[in-house]
Structure 1
Amino acid sequence: MKFQFEKLGSINKAELELGDLTIICGENNTGKTYVSYAIYGFLATWNKFINFELSQEKIDNLLKEGILKIDLNQFENNIFSLINELSRDYTQLIIPQIFSANEGYFSKTSFEVFINYNPSYKNELQFSAKTKEKEVLKAFKEKSSAILEITLLVENEALIPSTHIVKDFIAKALGKALLGHYFASPFIITAERIGISLFYRELDISKNVLVEQLQKQSKKFEIFDFFEMVNNTVSRYALPIQNNIDFVRDIFDIHSKKTSPLLKEHPEFAKDLKNILGGEIKVANDQIFFTFKQARKNQTIPLYLSSSTVKSLLDLNFYIKHIAKSGDILFIDEPELNLHPANQRKMARLFVRLIKAGIKVFITTHSDYIIKELNNLIILGNKFEERNKIMKKYKYTEADVLDPTSVKVYIAENQTLTPAPIDNLGIAVKSFDKEIEEMKNMFDDMTETMEMAYEL
């Protein structure tokens, strides 16, 4: 899958192809976050505004007969025009909402999506729509079948959804069946995550207090008017930040759900998280706690008293344990935030293990430690003398080895994205190397001058 951008933030014109691991490096204010937000926004919303031309006759038949069968093959010739329409609508209508900004900021923006479409109906599809906790519509497709079945689950006329809702549901089902394989389900962890994890309680407390005060002052006050006002206020944040806020506020519900499909298949991820955190994040009595692993064995403290590292990894911890599944794409803005260099290296290894478990990873970073560690993992893929001995010495396994062909790296510079060279010796990020070399040269010049002064 490729994306092309024009006039997006500080990016004048650029192209980006997704890899299993996609990385954007670059100096501050070069457009890294704009690009990641724009791609995340598309993947998070495309199925909400996709448009399939469905005749009223088909809708009427569904409402009358209770079932509608759709042959997916009939849409194959229109896929590319459909994606072009998606790109256009996303650019003109959705991007300003993603960034929660005035349309004028994006009046010259262009966002285009390209895929190598190859029809595949191997996966089973099943989901439903609910009204007041009652299922009213169901979409189902068997494995390897090209027939999508839409079923109306209610007979009571009062419960039958409107034509508009039925059309939206069918469009969503068609989108999943035809394009769900290409457009991965996204989850994003923004650079604002520490503040969100620290103050999520205050957001809820402030809301509850305000509701009580308004109700006391006016008998005519409607609670639903208030929540509409709250939602409008929250939407002033860019969509990724808003979604981060919603995720943290829902952690107690998320925690009560079953173990994620990822963790069921790969329970070793729990150990990886514990190793990076230095303990475990737990939920009890409507509070989030952190339990130390070693230094203060079995000591438990509230989240707000924990280190910035724990707060920084809160979202990642609950995503991996309760939501993550193969086929997802995980976005992380600056994964190195508040992490010691040793933990930055561990994060690089975690990313490799995630992509091998079927989850794509997209990061923006300033961390030379992450890049250098990824280079080590790429080099381990070569056959060389003492390889096994070195892996044993530094406690690496085959699960840590990174295939360079699965990685795409871009440098945000000069108002574009420049692909970084990648080979079997790793990734070349000149901007990092330049700063490190300059620091080394400065150190050498100073110490050499000092040594000469001492000799005199």
Structure 2
Amino acid sequence: MELLFGVSNFGKIEHAEITLSDFTLFVGDNNSGKTFVMQLLYGVLKELRNAKPVLKGIEEHGEKELTYGVEWLKNVETQMNDYLSKNKKKIIRGIFHKDIAIEQLYFHMVNMDEIYVCEVNECEYDEFSGDEEGVVKKVQGMDADIYIADVNVKSREKKSSILFGYRPDRESLKQILAGQMWKMILLLGNTENVVGRQKEDTLFLPASRTGLQLLSKYFFAERDRKAVYEIDNFDFDFGDEDGEDIKDVTDNELGLTMPIYDFLQFLLRYNRRAGLVQRNKNLLRFIERHLIDGQVKHVGDEIYYHPDGMPEEKEDIPVYLASSLVNEITPIIKALSGGKNYRYIFYDEVETCLHPLKQGEMARLIVRLVNSGRRMVVSTHSDTMAGKLNNLLLLSFSEDSEEERKEKLKKLGLSKEDLLSDAKVHVYQFVNRPDGSSYVEELKFQTMPYVGYDFKLFMRSLDELYHETDIILK
């Protein structure tokens, strides 16, 4: 299943329908609305994640089985669209901290062919007291195994298990599981194994990540200083004579959108987690060997860079003195090694600060991130990045024999890990109009002739460059 989000007359965007899947790519002009739409999608996903669970349409099969099928999915879609329609202005204000015109905001579930089946069983497990005696007590709980089945196929696949530390009543159970099913659909990821743990598994990496990273500590120190000052000098004026509330002191005085603020929070709360480093060791090794040519080290709150070839006994380089490339890549290293295993990553202007050859390596990393099970929403206005991604997709979707593919990979210095494995891809081109508005069109993967995605905007730029050179050399 895929999720399609639509907007009309949103800021400068006349109309856009974006399908979020395994890999979604935005290309286009500067100031065409790519970042604008990306931040909107991030914020809407976050808003809907906390929406009230839908109970209508849940099928009960005895005491042990609950089915969240097509009827339930349709009810979810209807209720969530009602919510978006009624609250779109509030949602926009929450994301951008500004009133921005928007006519429509909606979403659809594409291909409602999945059924979510929950098998519930009572269980008993041991709970340790944690003191020196290690007292164990028996806890009456419940577990729910979640399966996903295709409506056209009888077989089903176990997706996850949820363990309850208590035994909820029937209605509470239906509501909790409905919420978990909705998060599975919305974020296209696994549910939590223990109910009650809330983990934010969506990350937004903004285009300005290098500067934000270098100044993040100052930002939060300044924010705290201002908050203390406001409290110390607050005169307890609760409004004017007309009952108008005074302006909240936290009302976006720092001039940041919600996704940018969340990114700063991500930097502030980073804490290296050995288990996650081990799980993502291949991705981290690829970054070290192919992108930054060295290692990023965290010592307390400080970050250092150790280039390849530099003797171990030599002092590491503080990251603020390292190259812009190292600073640019550090946030994705943190995402793969910190306290949370981010499964949904929005990566704006992915080519920033990268030499064309390094852009090729970044394209390989994006594919590997998708293959690791992460959902990627990526933007670029680099013809090099778009071309490299297109080449990797051409190889991935080709009908070459195994031997032919191996030979091509060898000649190109690539490996099978650089090919998308069973992933759905959607590519969108953002185009500026003369009147200042922009429109969004989905590009189709062309197989006849076999050229992949035709990035006309980039081709026009290359044609103009060739024409200019031709005139100069004549």
- Shared topology, TM-score over 0.5? yes
C-alpha contact (below 8 Å) 1:141/1:148 kept by paired residues: yes
Question: Per-residue deviation at 1:431?
Answer: 0.4
In the alignment, the residues of structure 2 paired with residue 408 and residue 178 of structure 1 have an alpha-carbon distance, to the nearest angstrom, of 22
Deviations 1:393-415 (A, max 9, x none): 43211111246973211111253
The offset of 1:151, in angstroms, is 5.8
Q: Of 417, 420, 439, which residue of structure 2 is paired with 1:416? A: 439
| Contact 1:194/1:312, CA 8 A, preserved across alignment | yes
Q: Which residue matches 1:444?
A: 470
Map residues 108-257 of structure 1 onto 2, 5 A cutoff.
108-117=103-112, 118-121=114-117, 141-144=144-147, 173-184=177-188, 185-207=201-223, 209=225, 232-233=251-252, 236-251=255-270, 254-255=271-272, 257=273
Shift of residue 90, structure 1, vs aligned partner: 3.1
- Going from structure 1 to structure 2, the CA distance change for 1:212 and 1:34 (only over 3 Å counts) comes to closer
Say how many residue pairs are matched: 396
Q: 2:19 aligned to 17, 20, 23, which one?
A: 17
Are residues 1:77 and 2:71 paired? yes
SS of corresponding position for 2:275: coil
Corresponding residue of 2:9: 7
Alpha-carbon distance change, 169 to 28 in structure 1, aligned in 2, over 3 angstroms: farther
Q: Secondary structure at the match of 2:96?
A: coil
Range that drifts further, 39-48 or 240-249: 39-48
Q: Is the 8 A contact 1:196 1:245 kept in 2?
A: yes
1:198 deviates by 0.9
Contact 1:278 1:294 in 2 (8 A): no
- Indicate the residue corresponding to 1:59 in structure 2: none
Question: Displacement of 1:73 after TM fit?
Answer: 3.0
Match of residue 46, structure 1, among 40, 45, 48: 48
Which of 289, 309, 312 lines up with 2:328 in the alignment?
312
User: Could you say what the CA RMSD is over the residues aligned between the two structures, in angstroms?
Assistant: 3.8
Equivalent position amino acid for 2:430 in 1: A
Please report the TM-score for the alignment, with normalisation by the length of structure 1. Answer: 0.74
2:350 is paired with a residue of what secondary structure? coil
Q: Which position in structure 2 is the counterpart of 1:62?
A: none
1:272 aligns with 2:266: no
Identity %: 21
Structure 1 residue 101 displacement after superposition: 3.3
In 2, distance between residues paired with 1:354 and 1:147? 24
> Take 1:108 and 1:53, find their aligned partners in 2: how far apart are those partners?
29
The correspondence of residues 271-290 of structure 1 with structure 2, limited to 5 A, is: 271-275=285-289, 276-290=291-305
The 1:182–1:47 alpha-carbon spacing in structure 2 relative to 1, beyond 3 Å, is: closer
Q: Describe the SS at the equivalent of 1:119.
A: strand
Q: Counterpart of 2:75 in structure 1: which amino acid?
A: S
Q: Which has the higher strand share?
A: 2
Q: What CA distance in whole angstroms lies between the structure 2 residues aligned with 1:172 and 1:97?
A: 29
- TM-superposed CA distance for 1:378, in Å, is 2.8
Query: How far is 1:27 from its partner?
Result: 0.7
Match of 2:240 in 1: none
User: Within 2, Cα distance between the matches of 1:49 and 1:404?
Assistant: 31
Aligned counterpart, 1:432: 458
| Partner of residue 125, structure 2 | none
Mapped to 2, the partners of 1:217 and 1:97 lie a distance apart of 28
| Paired amino acid for 1:356 | N
CA contact 1:99–1:237 (8 Å) conserved in 2: no
| Whole-angstrom CA distance in 1 between matches of 2:119 and 2:373 | 15
- Residue 184 of structure 2 aligns with an amino acid whose one-letter code is G
2:24·2:378 contact (CA, 8 Å) conserved in 1? yes
Query: Relative to 1, partners in 2 of residues 1:113 and 1:387: Cα closer, same or farther, differing over 3 Å?
Result: closer
Equivalents in 1 of 2:173, 2:48: separation in Å? 14
Summarize the Cα distance change of 1:323–1:231 in structure 2 as closer, same or farther, 3 Å threshold: farther
Residue 241 of structure 2: aligned partner: none
Shift of 1:242: 1.0
Amino acid across the alignment from 2:284: A
In structure 2, C-alpha distance between the alignment counterparts of 1:268 and 1:374, rounded to whole Å:
20
Partner Cα distance (1:319, 1:207) in 2: 24
**Residues 262-308 of structure 1: CA distance to partner in whole angstroms, max 9, x if unpaired?**
x5445211111112122222211321222222367654122222222
> Which residue type is aligned with residue 293 of structure 1?
D
CA–CA distance in structure 2, aligned partners of residues 361 and 426 of structure 1: 19
CA gap 1:82/1:376 in 2 versus in 1, 3 angstroms: closer
Q: Identify the residue that residue 127 of structure 2 maps to in structure 1.
A: none
Structure 1 letter corresponding to 2:317: I
Q: Quick one: which amino acid aligns to residue 332 of structure 1?
A: Y
In the alignment, structure 1 segments of 5+ residues that lack a partner are 55-68, 125-137, 155-166, 221-227, 449-456
Say whether residues 1:364 and 2:379 are aligned partners. Answer: yes
Q: Is the 8 A contact 2:49 2:186 kept in 1?
A: no
Question: Superposition pairs for residues 80-91 of structure 1, below 5 Å?
Answer: 80-91=74-85
**Structure with greater helix share of residues:** 1
Distance 1:74 1:437 in 2: 53
Amino acid of the structure 1 residue aligned with 2:259: P
**Residue type of the alignment partner of 1:443:** T
Q: Deviations over 1:170-193 (max 9, x none)?
A: 856522234514433422101121
Secondary structure of the corresponding residue to residue 180 of structure 1: helix
After TM superposition, give the deviation of residue 247 of structure 1 in Å.
0.5
Worse-superposed segment, 275-284 or 373-382: 373-382
Which residue does 2:418 correspond to in 1? 400
Q: Within 1, Cα distance between the matches of 2:80 and 2:228?
A: 43
Mapping for residues 325-340 of structure 1, pairs under 5 Å: 325=341, 328-340=343-355
Distance 1:102 1:178, change over 3 A: closer
Counterpart amino acid of residue 417 in structure 1: V
